[in-house]
Amino acid sequence: MIKYHSEIKGAPKAIGPYSVATETGNLVFLSGQIPLNPETGEVVQGGIEEQSVQVLKNISSVLTNLGLSFKSVAKTTIFLTTMDNFGAVNKIYEEFLGDSKPARSTVAVSGLPKGVLVEIEMVAVKS
């Protein structure tokens, strides 16, 4: 059985026909989060640091509301519009995830929704 979560408190609503998170069995798939302020739906002001912080805050809200944490994450994929931002994102990512070290891929893409600089998706495991 698949359970769809279209709205999650403290996280932006999906900007298209998809769910913020989907559960099946003990797996939870988090859709890519971009740096949207969950209250306004607008992209946060600032550069890669501010955008990365907002993305990880949004993901933290999704995980928390599903009874999970960054320690539950098994796989992360990070999308960047330029690999020049890899170091800055990596530093902020490490601050948020702490001792959690899920498998991860980071890829450069030609563009992201709303012209943002970063998008992050995760797969978590419910115990």
State the residue range of the domain holding 74.
2-125
Number of domains in the chain: 1
Among residues 69, 60, 73, the alpha carbon closest in space to that of 122 is found at 73
- The per-residue pLDDT for 103 is 98
Cα separations in angstroms, 120 against 34, 46, 116, 127:
7, 17, 11, 23
Give the total residue count for the chain: 127
Coil, helix or strand at residue 10: coil
Coil, helix or strand at residue 55: helix
CATH number of the domain to which 76 belongs:
3.30.1330.40
- The per-residue pLDDT for 15 is 84
In order along its 127 residues, the chain shows pLDDT tens digits of 999 999 999 999 888 899 999 999 999 999 999 999 999 999 999 999 999 999 999 999 999 999 999 999 999 999 999 999 999 999 999 999 999 999 999 999 999 999 999 999 999 999 8
